[in-house]
Amino acid sequence: MNRRPALELLGLLALGIGLARWRPLPGGAWTFIALAPAALGLTWLVRRNLLLVLALPLGWWLAGAHLAPPDGPHRIREDEAGAPVLVEGILERDAALLDAKGRLHLLVTEIRTERGRRAVRESVVAYLRGTLPEWTEGTRVEVEGRLDRPHNFRNPGAWDFEGYLERGGVRYVLMGAASDARALGVLPDESLGWTRGLIVGLRARAKAFLAGPATASFSPEVVGILRALVVGDRTAFSDRLYEQFQATGVAHVLAISGMHLGIVGYLAYRFIKALLKIWPPLLLRLNARKWAMAAALAPTFGYAALTGAGVSTVRAAVMAAVFVVALLLDRENDPLSALGIAGVAILVARPLDVFSTSFQLSFAAVLAILLWSPVLFESPRPIPLGLRPWENFALRAGRWIREPFLISVITDVATAPLIAAHFQRLTWIGPLTNLLVIPLVGFVILPLGLLASLIALLSAGLGAAILLPAGWASGLVVRWIALLDAVPARSLSLPAPSALGVVGAYLALLGLAPALRPWRRPLVALGAVLGAIAVAPPLAAWAHAERPRVAFLEFDRGEIAWIDTDDGRGILVYGGVRRGSAFDAGRRVIAPFLADRAVRTIDDVVLPLRADRLALGMDALEERFSIRRRWCPGPAPEGALPCAGIDDPGAPLERIEGADGLLWRDRERGAAVWFAGPIRKRGPRGSGLV
């Protein structure tokens, strides 16, 4: 395998950014200038490219500048957090809905407190109880609430909420109510810039079209798929449907990436090339292929901007641009170098994206495809003559299926360590799901959805007619995924591997790639050693763990505990969950914790009397775990989850007469845990755990 300086540069830059997590360098320009003489000296000593030598300190410095940005007069101050404030700002993204809360990404321009008002310029994310109007990017709004620093739940397997906001340059969140937010107007297009204003307008009209009469006959799941693929808006996606996409291994189709941009670019290329052929004299002066390729970049980049320009989208767009530039300059196209250039471009602009799930999964999947390309794209043998018609058809169909099936298998294997680390799960059914989903998305849903949205700008009726086949195909995708989601063990929960374990797995996988055959043995051996080192301590800790063990989960909307008994039973205890809460405790808190402990069965669940399924998160728990028994501290009211009484024989907890709470005993060891209130003795109205 030949050297790829762009890939080497990407690796060193990412390593430098990783070092900044351990010990950030000061972000000032003088820090980097001070490193320059040392880099020049090292370049002379090792006779290597100056850029490669500078890559590691550059990544270190860039990440430090983002992790510890300098304070300034236009930044929010610490003493302004924790108190009621009124902020004015401009929406950096369209308003969205998450867990029944309005979410606003704001560029705050003014903040008002009891001490007065002052001008600021800092990004803040506002979470507001209630439903917001569909405000678009560029809307100027005024919001009242409380500024706070974001914080993570410190439960094993919990989502890194702080890191997610940190990568976007967000230091504060604003908590409030939707009723305390109002629009002050919309920035004129000249303030947004012509290009950005055009994209914002197109996105707003496409979203309105996909939420209007054209989709009135479609199910909410179909509308969610169409909005996700056409404008990159996943807020219409239900948690249940997204869980099915994850469990069946096709969540990647919702992340706008190379497949989506490739479809748009290819269709644009064919259309532009056909237009050029209408005027034969042009073909005598122009290279139709080159000009069509170059012109197709405009709709490709436009679609990338329309869908939000996420990490995987930008990676694909940069690779497409590198490919076209190589074509125009009559240079050989090298996809590995294009991948390296795309990664460097992303990390220079947003260095902390190296820690994001989308960056890691996108680059791992594409790198695997490129390293296995000698096998994937080898020329097939000629079809033998004299075959019967059905044999000829079967052979051609097998060849048509082989390539996408192998690509799906390779990308699933390549992303498995990262998916295990980030989501505590593995799925094996993805290649089968993709056999139907990818063709429907690529040939029907995406092209017709985009075409319908564009035609709707001129004729809503014609756009709705074009959208119908895309809706039918989306419905078929929903049914296909629901069918495969019912397959037993289609997705396995497992503890998140350590960073060392992930590195070991990838070294071993790199050793298996045909493009790296000369280094196969050392890479596989080193990967196996690192994997063994990573796995040994947790296995030893699990084998020697004392039981019973009780874990109290951090959760700011109630109390939840998990008990591992000495006989291997698992008991989940709800010590009170806020009624009416839209936060899905099962999906966001309990499921990641149990997956990290390799739990597959919950033997007993002790439920409160007066909390709904969403607040308890029972839907998510029933999807991912087997629940054997449910218990309640009293007769369940009408409409509540079915459960046995806590006073019945076999209940895992017991009530103590005259006390306000429940007790769990380990009679053999003499251990006990008291779960105090808010349980009250049953009164005339049947009150209980609330």
Q: Hey, what are 385's tokens?
A: 């003559």
As given in the structure block, the two tokens for residue 452 are: 């319908």
pLDDT range class, residue 671, cuts 50, 70, 90: low
Q: Point out the least confidently predicted range of 227-236, 392-401, 566-575, 676-685.
A: 676-685
Q: Specify the pLDDT at position 612.
A: 67
Q: Is the pLDDT of residue 98 over 80?
A: no
**Percent of the chain residues past pLDDT 90, beyond the cut:** 32
Average pLDDT, the chain: 82
- Over residues 393-416, the pLDDT tens digits come to 677 777 778 888 889 999 999 999
Confidence grade of residue 500 (pLDDT, cut at 50, 70, 90):
very high
C-alpha distances out from residue 165 to 66, 125, 290, 352, 356, Å: 12, 8, 41, 11, 11
Query: What digits encode the pLDDT tens for the residues 315-327?
Result: 999 999 999 999 8
Contact at 8 Å (CB) between 130 and 102?
yes
Q: What is the DSSP string of 380-417?
A: PPPPPTT--HHHHHHHHHHHHHHHHHHHHHHHHHHHHH
> Most confidently modeled of 453-457, 555-559, 582-586, 641-645?
453-457
Label residue 189 by pLDDT band (50, 70, 90). low
Q: Residues 80-92, buried b or exposed e (16+ Cβ, 10 A)?
A: bbeeebebbbbbe
Segment 598-611 shows an average pLDDT of 82
Highest mean pLDDT among 175-189, 220-234, 661-675: 220-234
- Note the pLDDT of residue 49: 63
Residue 138, pLDDT > 50, answer yes
Angle subtended at Cα 98 by Cα 593 and Cα 132, rounded to the nearest 5 degrees: 160
Partners of 319 in the β-ladder = none
User: Residue 489 pLDDT > 90, yes or no?
Assistant: no
Amino acid (1-letter code) at residue 113 = T
- In this structure, are residues 370 and 343 in contact, taking their beta carbons and an 8 Å threshold? no
Percent of the chain with pLDDT over 70: 83
What is the rounded CA–CA span in Å between residue 338 and residue 322? 6
* Identity of the amino acid at 656: I
Are the CB atoms for 226 and 474 separated by under 8 Å?
A: yes
At residue 514's C-alpha, the angle toward residues 512 and 519, to 5°, is: 60
Q: Please work out, in degrees rounded to the nearest 5, the angle formed at the alpha carbon of residue 165 by the alpha carbons of 18 and 133.
A: 155
* Residue-wise DSSP of 637-687: PTTSPP-EETTSTT-SSEEPTT-SEEEEEETTTTEEEEEE-S-----TT--
CA separation for the pair 51, 467 (Å, rounded): 49
Give residue 36's pLDDT band: very low, low, confident or very high (50, 70, 90): low
- The top-scoring range by mean pLDDT among 258-262, 376-380, 565-569 is 258-262
pLDDT at 688 over 50: no
What is the pLDDT at residue 413? Answer: 94
CB-neighbour burial class of residue 55 (10 A; exposed 0-12, middle 13-18, buried 19+): buried
Map out the domains of the chain as residue ranges: 5-67, 78-187, 499-543, 549-676
More confidently predicted of 663 and 144:
144
Confidence label for 685 from pLDDT (cuts 50, 70 and 90): very low
- Which CATH topology does 78-187 take? OB fold (Dihydrolipoamide Acetyltransferase, E2P) (2.40.50)
CA 508 to mean position of chain CA atoms: 26
Neighbouring CB atoms inside 10 A of 118's CB total: 14
147-159 tens-digit pLDDT:
999 888 878 778 8
Give mean pLDDT, residues 438-459. Answer: 93
Confidence of residue 600 (pLDDT cuts 50, 70, 90): confident
Check residues 79 and 125 and name the one with the higher pLDDT: 125
Closest CA to 555 of 588, 531, 532: 588
Single pTM value for the model = 0.86
- Contact (CB, 8 A) for 176 and 128: yes
Task: From residue 593, give the alpha-carbon distance in Å to each of 488, 554, 590.
Answer: 22, 10, 5
Q: For residue 64, name the pLDDT band (cuts at 50, 70, 90).
A: confident
| DSSP assigned state of 254 | G
Confidence of residue 174 (pLDDT cuts 50, 70, 90): very high
Q: What's the pLDDT tens digit per position in 335-387?
A: 999 999 999 999 999 999 999 999 999 999 999 999 998 877 766 666 666 67
User: For 91-105, 178-192, 296-310, 621-635, which range has the lowest pLDDT when averaged over its residues?
Assistant: 178-192
> If pLDDT is split at 50, 70 and 90, which confidence band does 142 have?
very high
Provide the total of helices (H) and of strands (E) in the chain, helices listed first: 25, 17
- The reported pLDDT for the residue numbered 25 is 63
- pLDDT category, 687, cuts 50, 70, 90? very low
